[in-house]
Chain A
Amino acid sequence: MTQQPIIKVQNLKKYFPLRRGLIGFLKGAPIRYVKAVDGISFEIKKGEVFGLVGESGCGKTTTGRLILRLIEPTEGRIFYNGRDITRIPKKELRPLRRELQVIFQDPYGSLDPRFTVASIIEEPLIIHKIGDSSRERIELISKALEEVKLTPPEEFLWRYPHQLSGGQRQRVAIARALILKPKFIVADEPVSMLDVSIRAEILNLMEELREKYGLTYLFITHDLAVARYFSHRIAVMYLGKIVEMADSDTIVENPLHPYTQALIAAVPEPDPSNREKRREIKIKGEVPSAAAIPPGCRFHPRCPYAMKICKEKEPPMVEVEPGHQVACWLYAKA
């Protein structure tokens, strides 16, 4: 693993405007925003698996889409291999799309049911004008299918998505992402809709491909156990902000932010002795709406250690030990 970041994100923000009602419009009420991503910064090194973990609505998927420029950021900058790609026009973006790919969560919804496996994987080749003839493209597709262990490929080429199992569909999605030989892949909950018994198969396949092609992943998941298994580093998101970031062992073994601590305490484990005890969840309530983010530290209304300063001022991200950053007033000086 080299030290050069392949992806660098600086103070990235995405605000979605909320529709005003008629009365609000007539009164000239200010437009309110859902602050889905609210100023996050991180770097992903080449060959790394960077896990982005958080509960639903924390902005992790929006972050993935921002990096791929599937949606336009409100503020902040995105660098790919040192080049600022935040505002480059669509035309220049196209060659980059070959290098930046995505695997979606839902293998049932992300494949067009009217297309065969061959035409699903062929589409990116046609768009990017790769392969001169259909035969040449089919050859490339067959190779990609072998790569994701859908063998023999002839048996899968002409099937439709409904004729495949969930795991097989997700392999087709991976083959489609890989066919353009990308460098960086956003994997958005790639195994959460699959049965436990085949999750490891897909994860192991993704790991194998990473090693073989030197891929880099942004791995988005709500499941800390899966994140630890698959990622080198983990960033924990809460309401549009990264609250803690470290290598994955450190996050699990030495979590510092009260939110990370609660997340870890809440993960159930297949150990029957758990039956005798209640899980101690120190934090209260549920995640507030991203349209009404609490002032100061956005976690303070739920935090068991909330102090006066937490209600007033947002905590800065501080490095408490090399490579371990946390945004919490317990660890920062005012």
Chain B
Amino acid sequence: MPLLEVKNLKTYFYTTRGIVKAVDNVSFVLDRGEVLGVAGESGCGKSTMAYSIIRIVPPPGRIAGGQVLFDGTDLTKLPEEELNRKYRWQRISMVFQGAMNALNPVYTVGHQLAEPLVYHKGMDKREAIEYSKKYLELVGLEPDLVKRYPHELSGGMKQRVMIAMALLLKPDLVIADEPTTALDVIVQAQILNLLKDLQHQLNLSIILITHDLSIIAELAHKVAIMYAGKIVELGKSEQIFNNSRHPYTQKLLSSIPRLRERRKLEFIPGVPPDLRAPPPGCRFHPRCPFVMDVCRVEEPPMVEVEPGHQVACWLYTKR
């Protein structure tokens, strides 16, 4: 049984100006010890998809359909109390976007690290702080840091604290939402090295969400490319980076400037659609260079083009 199986997940935002289908029929599986990278432009629904897994979508957002099977249990059907007690942070934790600002400035690092241990494990505070020191060492920090306040730490150190916090309860799955976006390139490389080490060491499953495909290549075994609320291509990292099929993925890859080779960069003309009224048929068709008649009227199904490599595009499907 896979660790996580997301089936036809739909998360909609019910706004006064219409329903925004931020995540629309998304399915994937994730095995134990596997890293899934989720990439796409801003507003494609990648963060909302991640929030849906542990049900922290802010209102007016709501899970409108589908299943999130974690170790066989459908998290979307679970009572809030049980989800809190057994799953959130305990088995699925998260490293948030802009994590540098996620620490509370008026409490010490130790106090904040102790919190989940007190809540979930029933430790007393002193015991919890003692216990959390081990985790600071695990992420390459001095255990003495428990006495410090967030403003005394650099950006990279804060990010390490956030990672330690996510690992404290020995979760099976860590969701990392843009974990290195605000960091400088050298610190980013150090954090990526740390995540690599920890992933091997603890056999973690990670869902890595970022707009930066280069970061995904550093960590992910599997990659999902999202566009306008849907996964348009899903496959092993090698398949996506070396043999992508969907025109969107291909364009996205050729728009990344590479340091070590010089070539003309491409771009994708136009803008992603308004998710309140996505275009009919394939949602990428208004920007697609290979658009055909069928693309404008009918949505392409997800088909397998080689083992483990799925793509939703009419170029690869017969009607």
Q: Is the CB–CB distance between B267 and A197 below 8 Å? A: yes
* Interface presence of B187 (CB below 8 A): yes
Across the interface, which residues of B come within 8 angstroms of A274, CB to CB? 217-218
Selected contact of A199 from candidates B185, B193, B255, CB within 8 Å: B255
Stretch of A8-16, A140-148, A262-270, A312-320 with 4 or more beta carbons under 8 angstroms from chain B: A262-270
Across the interface, which residues of B come within 8 angstroms of A249, CB to CB? 262
Q: How far is the CA of A272 from the CA of B220 in the complex (A)?
A: 8
Interface string of A248-259 (1 = CB under 8 A from B): 010010000000
Interface size on B, residues (CB 8 A): 49
* A278 in contact with B154 given A56-B184, A270-B241 (CB within 8 Å): no
* Interface presence of B226 (CB below 8 A): no
Residues 159-196 (chain A) with a chain B CB within 8 angstroms: 165, 167-168, 195-196
Q: Is the CB–CB distance between A279 and B193 below 8 Å? A: yes
Across the interface, which residues of B come within 8 angstroms of A262, CB to CB? 186
* Interface presence of A203 (CB below 8 A): yes
> Closest approach, in angstroms, between the C-beta of A202 and any C-beta of chain B?
8
Across the interface, which residues of B come within 8 angstroms of A272, CB to CB? 217, 220, 237-238, 240-242
Q: How far is the CA of A201 from the CA of B268 in the complex (A)?
A: 8
* Interface presence of A283 (CB below 8 A): yes
Stretch of A79-87, A94-102, A121-129, A218-226 with 4 or more beta carbons under 8 angstroms from chain B: A218-226
Across the interface, which residues of B come within 8 angstroms of A198, CB to CB? 255, 267-268, 271
Residues 272-310 (chain A) with a chain B CB within 8 angstroms: 272, 274-275, 278-279, 281, 283, 286-287
* A270 in contact with B214 given A225-B258, A225-B259, A281-B193 (CB within 8 Å): yes
Which residue of chain A is the closest to B39 with respect to CB atoms?
A196
> Closest approach, in angstroms, between the C-beta of A319 and any C-beta of chain B?
24
* Interface presence of A229 (CB below 8 A): yes
Interface size on A, residues (CB 8 A): 42
Q: Is the CB–CB distance between A268 and B257 below 8 Å? A: no
Selected contact of A267 from candidates B42, B185, B221, B269, CB within 8 Å: B185
Which residue of chain B is the closest to A269 with respect to CB atoms?
B214
* Interface presence of A55 (CB below 8 A): yes
Q: Is the CB–CB distance between A196 and B215 below 8 Å? A: no
Across the interface, which residues of B come within 8 angstroms of A199, CB to CB? 255, 257, 265, 267
* A283 in contact with B186 given A195-B211, A275-B221 (CB within 8 Å): yes
Q: How far is the CA of A272 from the CA of B242 in the complex (A)?
A: 8
Selected contact of B192 from candidates A224, A279, A287, CB within 8 Å: A279
Q: Is the CB–CB distance between A55 and B266 below 8 Å? A: no
> Closest approach, in angstroms, between the C-beta of A153 and any C-beta of chain B?
18
Across the interface, which residues of B come within 8 angstroms of A203, CB to CB? 265
Q: Is the CB–CB distance between B41 and A195 below 8 Å? A: yes
* Interface presence of B189 (CB below 8 A): yes
Q: Is the CB–CB distance between B267 and A55 below 8 Å? A: no
> Closest approach, in angstroms, between the C-beta of A323 and any C-beta of chain B?
18
Residues 56-114 (chain B) with a chain A CB within 8 angstroms: none
Across the interface, which residues of A come within 8 angstroms of B215, CB to CB? 268
> Closest approach, in angstroms, between the C-beta of A294 and any C-beta of chain B?
16
Interface string of B164-193 (1 = CB under 8 A from A): 000000000000000000001111111011
Which of A168, A229, A264, A268 counts the most chain B CB atoms within 10 A? A268
> Closest approach, in angstroms, between the C-beta of B260 and any C-beta of chain A?
7
Contact count A vs B, C-beta below 8 Å: 131
Q: How far is the CA of A196 from the CA of B266 in the complex (A)?
A: 10
Across the interface, which residues of A come within 8 angstroms of B253, CB to CB? 270
* A222 in contact with B184 given A200-B265, A229-B265, A281-B193 (CB within 8 Å): yes
* Interface presence of A4 (CB below 8 A): no
Q: Is the CB–CB distance between B258 and A275 below 8 Å? A: no
Q: How far is the CA of A228 from the CA of B242 in the complex (A)?
A: 23
> Closest approach, in angstroms, between the C-beta of B121 and any C-beta of chain A?
32
Q: How far is the CA of A283 from the CA of B265 in the complex (A)?
A: 31
Q: Is the CB–CB distance between B213 and A270 below 8 Å? A: yes
Selected contact of A266 from candidates B185, B220, B256, CB within 8 Å: B185
Q: How far is the CA of A229 from the CA of B266 in the complex (A)?
A: 12
* Interface presence of B252 (CB below 8 A): yes
* A252 in contact with B42 given A196-B212, A283-B186 (CB within 8 Å): no
* Interface presence of A92 (CB below 8 A): no
Q: How far is the CA of A203 from the CA of B212 in the complex (A)?
A: 18
* Interface presence of B219 (CB below 8 A): yes
Q: How far is the CA of A228 from the CA of B256 in the complex (A)?
A: 12
* Interface presence of A155 (CB below 8 A): no
Across the interface, which residues of A come within 8 angstroms of B255, CB to CB? 196-200
Which residue of chain A is the closest to B180 with respect to CB atoms?
A268
* Interface presence of A204 (CB below 8 A): yes
* Interface presence of B196 (CB below 8 A): yes
> Closest approach, in angstroms, between the C-beta of B47 and any C-beta of chain A?
14
* A167 in contact with B196 given A203-B265, A262-B186 (CB within 8 Å): no
- List 15 A–B pairs whose Cβ atoms lie within 8 Å, in order of A's numbering: A55-B185, A196-B252, A197-B41, A223-B257, A225-B258, A228-B262, A229-B262, A266-B188, A266-B189, A268-B214, A268-B215, A269-B214, A271-B241, A275-B237, A287-B184
Interface set of B (CB-CB < 8 Å, partner A): 41-42, 154-157, 184-190, 192-193, 196-197, 211-221, 237-238, 240-242, 251-253, 255-260, 262, 265-269, 271
Interface set of A (CB-CB < 8 Å, partner B): 55-56, 165, 167-168, 195-201, 203-204, 222-226, 228-229, 249, 252, 262-272, 274-275, 278-279, 281, 283, 286-287
Besides A167-B271, A270-B216, 20 other CB < 8 A contacts?
A: A56-B184, A165-B271, A196-B41, A197-B252, A197-B255, A198-B255, A198-B267, A201-B267, A228-B262, A252-B259, A268-B192, A269-B259, A270-B241, A272-B220, A272-B241, A275-B217, A275-B221, A275-B237, A279-B189, A286-B154
